[in-house]
Amino acid sequence: MAEARSSRDGKQGDAARLLLAAARDRFAAAATDLLLPDQGRLTEWQRVTAGALLTRLVGAIEDDLRARLAARFEDHAALHAALSSAHVPIALPILERAQALRDPELTALLVRRAEEHRFWTAHAAHGDGDFLHDLVRDADDDIAAEAMELVIGRARRFDRFQEPLLGEVELPAELQHRLVWRIAAALRHYIVQHHRAGGVDAAVEETASALIAGYDEGETLEARALRLARRLDRAGRLDGALLARSLGEGMLPFFLAGLAVRCGLDAGAAWEVLSDPRGRGPALLLRAGAIDRPDAAAILLALASRGPLLSGAEEERTAAQVELYDTLDEAAARDVLRLWQANPAYRASVARISTRSRAAAEAA
């Protein structure tokens, strides 16, 4: 019995490592290729959308830093004028030449945001008929308040043409910090190369530090979605039907948050598993989250569909996912997901070692 249990645990551990390595491989490749269209591993739509999001994100942070720095160099006319000309990008070309934006975590976030927009465009409920507006009118005042916060956060995801936005307020804190420092370094490089100004390093460091200090990760849409999901879970109302409805109405951020709560994960880990390129992730999450079969089937159908109508291939993918869901054991699925409950840096290290070990074995 002990040997059988050990063998089973070993297989589940191998499954977890392979799933993690596959997910990280995808985003590492995307990070390498995002800015190289001819070699992109993403779909053309994902690449264009993620690239546009990246450009606007870097531009928003750069504009904020430049406005603050311009105030520090008012007595230096040429530099002040250059920093104040916000329509001329400075940092982005420097960062692109230095390949400083090839960050797997940033790329994963950009692709995830692009996919969120795709789901929203394909499935969004219009008017007051979506589940969030229903929750805004909920008898539970706390749930209603959290739902309203999520509605407000969702509105920030679109520009006036309903194109996707990714503002600096939508980043995990550590990623926001890294991006601010990289953009600040690019601005410092420009100032040193093109202007004779004293006290550059002190001004840039203090400006970037002030921007970072004022950042509140709790204002991100993901944080708001998690707060609502946890409150609904405590009330016993975070069930498969609600998750299926949220996904069916295009609200992927709440779906990820709800599934993360059901599985004991963070939203980033839930997305990483869900986007497993081998296709095992969705069924694994649904089984581990104890989602009932009818709701799981509806969710798998929505995940397989890129629009209101299914093609034959999508129907086949859905059938395969439902079959996988049926063959999985809930306890075993939870065991596989234990790795995603670990520290993110640990997960990244496991994925890196698994990837390199596999590459070495294939080359041997």
pLDDT per residue as tens digits for the range 194-253: 998 889 999 999 999 999 999 998 889 999 999 999 999 999 999 999 999 999 898 999
- What's the rounded Cα separation, in Å, for the pair 303 and 314? 9
Predicted local confidence at residue 363, as pLDDT: 64
Q: Does the pLDDT of residue 36 top 60, yes or no?
A: no
- Residue 158 in 3-state DSSP? strand
pLDDT band at 264 (very low <50, low <70, confident <90, very high): very high
Instruction: Calculate mean pLDDT across residues 312-335.
Output: 85
Question: What are residue 164's DSSP bridge partners?
Answer: 158
- What's the rounded Cα separation, in Å, for the pair 292 and 93? 50
Closest CA to 223 of 254, 245, 265: 254
Do residues 136 and 148 lie in contact, with contact meaning Cβ atoms separated by under 8 Å?
A: yes
- What's the rounded Cα separation, in Å, for the pair 360 and 364? 6
Q: Does the pLDDT of residue 78 top 90, yes or no?
A: yes
- What's the rounded Cα separation, in Å, for the pair 302 and 310? 9
Q: Does the pLDDT of residue 115 top 70, yes or no?
A: yes
- What's the rounded Cα separation, in Å, for the pair 346 and 335? 17
Closest CA to 94 of 183, 208, 197, 194: 183
- What's the rounded Cα separation, in Å, for the pair 290 and 151? 27
Which of 8-17, 96-105, 251-260, 349-358 is the least confident region? 8-17
- What's the rounded Cα separation, in Å, for the pair 56 and 91? 12
- pLDDT tens, 341-363? 888 778 778 877 877 776 666 66
| pTM score of the predicted model | 0.78
Instruction: Calculate mean pLDDT across residues 8-24.
Output: 58
